[in-house]
Structure 1
Amino acid sequence: MTFRTLLFTLFIVLFSLSASSQGRKSATFGTLSHEVNTIESYPQDPEAAAVVVFEKGKTYASLINNRMLLVTEVHVITKVLDASRFDQGIIEIPYYRGSNTKENISHLKAITHNGKVQTFVKSSEIFDKDITENWSLKSFSFSDIQNGSVLEYTYRRETPFFFNINGWEFQGKLPKIYSEYETELPGNFVYRRALVGTEKLDINKVSLKRDCFHIPGFAQNADCEVSTYAMHHVPAFQEEDYMLSPKNYRSNINYELKEYTDFKGNKSEFTREWKDVDKEIRNNKDIGGQLKYDKLFEKELPQNILSIPNKLDRAKAVYSYIRDYYTWNEKYALFGDARVKDAFEEKSGSIKEINLSLINALEAADLDAKMVLSSTRDNGLPGFLYPVLTDFNYLFVLLEIDGTKYLLDASEKYAPFGLVPFRALNIQGRVMDLKEESSWTPIVPFNKNVHYVNAQFTAGDNGSFEGSVEEISTGYIGLSKRREFANRAVTEIVSEKQKSSVELLLSDYKTEALKEIEEPLKETYNLKLESELVADEVFLYPFLVNPLFTENPFKLNERSYPVDFGYPLTNTYLYQIDLNGKYTIPELPQNQRVKLPQDGGEFIISYVEENGILNIKFDLKLEKERYGAEAYKSLQDFFNRIITVLKNQPLVLKKV
């Protein structure tokens, strides 16, 4: 079979879109159109600080220094509408560095246009920075940004990694008037494509280009598939708290190499089945090959751990030993080098090395443990239909005892047994059973996440109240506090707590079980509260002590993606206030009980006054870690009412 006669089937894009009369746009670097120069506002988003007027990417194959590379050229033009609110003046371009080869960012040019004045970014103002073991950033900053400035840049990416086309993000932090992505790919590369997000394509064209690519030494040229995808007037993607990675929801098109036919006609399938990946992981010297050290850990683990008769108690002891023994070196290194034996000797390692050590140790203790491949929350969701190993960047442990499953990650010093860190709470992971076929498993968060506050106050003179406070924190809330407190002096902790209000004065602060990770973390202290005294009335805001929520996190008019807290939680306040004969309460605030739909949670606030003693109970429960976009308005209203109670609803006391 000759190169020219390779079977080439145009990929039919299965996207839903409506017909559009809007056509393609073009631009020349350094020369601004009348349209760009005259834009003063963007009616589709009047609050936008800037708008991307034109954006184009083009990806094609090219022979460079006798190497076949994938080249992407990018050109972006942005109009600044309000410089005081514009915060996108720093451009960062990520690129991959492999062990033997890397991507190259070249031909980078950037201009700030202010009328006829052009300010170019100098080569000395372009910087490279390594951010992980395999990823770097090339960055620069636009200067002299004013109202009406036009920021323009272009660059070229050269990569040898044909299996991993970056695709194109049509949607970003700024609204876009026009965004286009074009590919011109030889027909011996067949890609599967997917459009992510809620926005629709306005241009969706696929055609065949004859004789588009030539390799010296081959008689025939290659035909290419030419694809053009574009959107007009793309709204800005608005990020908000409590979400998974924005890349899961921003409108973009991604590519996955399905198959490749070399110039001699030999075909390679890249879209594999999981059984193929299982074999690859099993034979990988840095993953499956590191699960042969159970004898090492059988020798090194204390005998009093190995001899514990109860399986669950033995598992907890092994987990605690490994967690306390290792220090995480802040690297994930899922597909990098791994040496479990070296990591053990050094008492330090990557996520992979520590958790593979945990598997070896659990196996040495005659327990059934398996690795789970996953993706962190900020890395995006892995594809569920086909195995794409580059989607994964994390590894933790699944332990099964008498039919009950436990998720473990020994890299987190302050994590109790059965709690995987917040960074790993990303819906599903792939259990790699090296003896059987792999399978998906839900990543279930630790479910006992409680912040409990019990306080007793006695009224003093001139609006002051003094008393004692006990705080108890468990699960992810306790982990977060232990991590925060680990390297902080007591004075710093007290100062941080007092920041919530100038009316607070803390003393005699103590913690209990700070290092007993399996126990609830307890904080106790004395507190003096100075409230507002106006004439003969006191306005007392009782919920000043470390509330979990100080404002409504949900502020958008609408949200098209789920709300993800990561874990369910309970926040409870029990307050007892002795009015001490100094005050009366003419009218108690109204008791409330507000529920989320479908048993998603509730909050209760109740006030009871008897014989000069006021008891207040606030109880907030979020029963789910994740809520669909359809629940957004309910959550928004729910938190509006919570914040009203916590911050805007004082107790009005009348001086006796």
Structure 2
Amino acid sequence: MRLNTKLIFDKKSGNSADVNLCLLSLLKEAGINASPLLLSTRDNGMHPGLPVLTAFNNVIVKAEVGEKTILLDATDKHHAVDLIAYKSLNHEGLEVDLDTETSKWISLERPKVSGKSYSYMLTMDEANKLTGKLYISSTDYEGLRRRDEYTSATNQADFIKSYKSDKPGLNLKNYEILNLDNPDEALTESMDIEVEDNIEEGGNLAFFTPLLYEKTKENPFKLEDRKFPVDFGYPTEETFRISIELPKNYVVDKLPKSEKFSLPEQSATFSIIFSQSENMVGLISKISIRKSVFTPEEYFDLKELFKNIVRKQAEQIVIKKS
């Protein structure tokens, strides 16, 4: 079967399938073994397991480069190689061999973990105001999501305004973003921050949650039972590192207990470590979802894991004036 994209090039316009068929044509011209991959997007529903053309609504490209198999989607410049659109992560696609006119099912699940990490380095003054630096690093799908948020804003000031909108007491300046146009690298952000009105006082005690803005506030899993799988789309890891230097006239009165929770076979884990050294307090929190799909039988354990995430991330450090 011959691939003819002349009409698409002549029109100089087309849908996502047209764009990727043009990419397929160029790869074949370059001598790269490539095939179209038919799929049903997430909002279109899962395919029925049979090669019924009406069940598919998108086309991407599968290519063999050396020993490696990669999936390509040319419709978004922010997509790195082998990082297809989130909407396309729908379990399986149908590879069509144009030379032999045969087809086979190909897994669309990507084993690579998409990460997001926050690092706060803060100092508390005697008025309980926090000042310092915040660094954010986002990779793969998390980086893609963040790039989309940034580029969809009117300008950087609009992006910062949106970022601050659900973070009461936060002021920031000297914002910098790196690798915005380089999706193969981690997207990194840095900023100077001030945080006010996030510490409660009672007598000579002060109470605060080290996870200032990013804690998981409620359990997303509320049903008692579930009949369908839980589909995260891709594996993720979210890490928070927070260090706070206390005023010299404060001592730690209560530090929450460090704990770790795991699902069978470490398919999902949560750990939180509280630490203290002289006038420094710290926290490291890590949530790892190591696979995309969890069965209904795994639902209860997953629900319990997130119950513990909500509980532990809300715990407060108590400090006392000495």
TM-score (norm 2): 0.93
* Aligned partner of 2:19 among 315, 339, 354: 354
Instruction: Give the secondary-structure state (helix, strand or coil) at the position aligned to 2:64.
Output: strand
The aligned residue for residue 638 of structure 1 is 305
The aligned residue for residue 172 of structure 2 is 506
Q: Distance in 1 between matches of 2:8 and 2:17?
A: 9
The aligned residue for residue 413 of structure 1 is 77
- Pair 645,499 (structure 1): closer, same or farther in 2 beyond 3 Å: farther
Let me know the Cα RMSD of the aligned residues.
1.7
Q: Distance in 2 between matches of 1:499 and 1:651?
A: 26
1:95-174 matched pairs, under 5 angstroms: none
Ranges in structure 1 where 5+ consecutive residues have no aligned partner: 1-281, 283-287, 294-338
* Aligned partner of 2:134 among 469, 487, 490: 469
User: Does the aligned pair in 2 maintain the 1:539–1:653 contact within 8 Å?
Assistant: yes
Q: Does 2:190 correspond to 1:524? A: yes
Deviation at 1:545, TM superposition (A): 3.8
User: Does the aligned pair in 2 maintain the 1:374–1:395 contact within 8 Å?
Assistant: yes
Deviation at 1:364, TM superposition (A): 2.2
Q: Does 2:128 correspond to 1:441? A: no
Q: Does 2:283 correspond to 1:616? A: yes
The aligned residue for residue 497 of structure 1 is 163
Amino acid at match of 1:455: Y
Instruction: Give the secondary-structure state (helix, strand or coil) at the position aligned to 2:254.
Output: coil
Instruction: Give the secondary-structure state (helix, strand or coil) at the position aligned to 1:290.
Output: coil
Q: Distance in 1 between matches of 2:67 and 2:181?
A: 30
Q: Does 2:4 correspond to 1:290? A: yes
The structure with higher relative contact order (CA 8 Å, sep 6+) is: 2
Q: Distance in 2 between matches of 1:502 and 1:483?
A: 24
Deviation at 1:591, TM superposition (A): 0.3
User: Does the aligned pair in 2 maintain the 1:453–1:469 contact within 8 Å?
Assistant: yes
The aligned residue for residue 397 of structure 1 is 61
Deviation at 1:446, TM superposition (A): 6.3
For residues 100-127 of structure 1, give each alpha carbon's deviation from its aligned partner in whole angstroms, at most 9, with x where no partner exists.
Answer: xxxxxxxxxxxxxxxxxxxxxxxxxxxx
The aligned residue for residue 428 of structure 1 is 92
Amino acid at match of 1:424: S
User: Does the aligned pair in 1 maintain the 2:111–2:291 contact within 8 Å?
Assistant: no
Deviation at 1:652, TM superposition (A): 1.4
Deviation at 1:607, TM superposition (A): 1.2
1:45-444 matched pairs, under 5 angstroms: 282=1, 289-290=3-4, 339-343=7-11, 346=12, 348-384=13-49, 386-436=50-100, 437-444=102-109
Instruction: Give the secondary-structure state (helix, strand or coil) at the position aligned to 1:482.
Output: helix
For residues 616-649 of structure 1, give each alpha carbon's deviation from its aligned partner in whole angstroms, at most 9, with x where no partner exists.
Answer: 1111110011000111111111111111223x21
Aligned residues, how many? Answer: 318
The aligned residue for residue 121 of structure 1 is none
Instruction: Give the secondary-structure state (helix, strand or coil) at the position aligned to 1:420.
Output: coil
Deviation at 1:608, TM superposition (A): 1.6
Q: Which has the larger radius of gyration?
A: 1
Q: Distance in 2 between matches of 1:442 and 1:557?
A: 31
The aligned residue for residue 586 of structure 1 is 253
Ranges in structure 2 where 5+ consecutive residues have no aligned partner: none
The aligned residue for residue 629 of structure 1 is 296
The aligned residue for residue 603 of structure 1 is 270
User: Does the aligned pair in 1 maintain the 2:263–2:269 contact within 8 Å?
Assistant: yes
For residues 103-156 of structure 1, give each alpha carbon's deviation from its aligned partner in whole angstroms, at most 9, with x where no partner exists.
Answer: xxxxxxxxxxxxxxxxxxxxxxxxxxxxxxxxxxxxxxxxxxxxxxxxxxxxxx
Amino acid at match of 2:38: L
Q: Distance in 1 between matches of 2:278 and 2:221?
A: 40
For residues 513-568 of structure 1, give each alpha carbon's deviation from its aligned partner in whole angstroms, at most 9, with x where no partner exists.
Answer: 11122211111111212222222222212213445x44211111211100000000
Deviation at 1:508, TM superposition (A): 2.0
User: Does the aligned pair in 2 maintain the 1:512–1:521 contact within 8 Å?
Assistant: yes
User: Does the aligned pair in 1 maintain the 2:126–2:247 contact within 8 Å?
Assistant: no
User: Does the aligned pair in 2 maintain the 1:497–1:545 contact within 8 Å?
Assistant: no
TM-score (norm 1): 0.47
Q: Distance in 2 between matches of 1:643 and 1:566?
A: 22
Instruction: Give the secondary-structure state (helix, strand or coil) at the position aligned to 2:302.
Output: helix
1:538-549 matched pairs, under 5 angstroms: 538-547=206-215, 549=216
User: Does the aligned pair in 2 maintain the 1:464–1:529 contact within 8 Å?
Assistant: yes
Instruction: Give the secondary-structure state (helix, strand or coil) at the position aligned to 1:419.
Output: coil
For residues 361-402 of structure 1, give each alpha carbon's deviation from its aligned partner in whole angstroms, at most 9, with x where no partner exists.
Answer: 212222111100110111111122x43111111100101123
The aligned residue for residue 121 of structure 2 is 456
* Aligned partner of 1:566 among 229, 233, 252: 233
User: Does the aligned pair in 1 maintain the 2:3–2:25 contact within 8 Å?
Assistant: no
Amino acid at match of 2:293: R
Instruction: Give the secondary-structure state (helix, strand or coil) at the position aligned to 1:396.
Output: strand
- Pair 596,418 (structure 1): closer, same or farther in 2 beyond 3 Å: same
Q: Distance in 1 between matches of 2:311 and 2:14?
A: 47
For residues 170-220 of structure 1, give each alpha carbon's deviation from its aligned partner in whole angstroms, at most 9, with x where no partner exists.
Answer: xxxxxxxxxxxxxxxxxxxxxxxxxxxxxxxxxxxxxxxxxxxxxxxxxxx
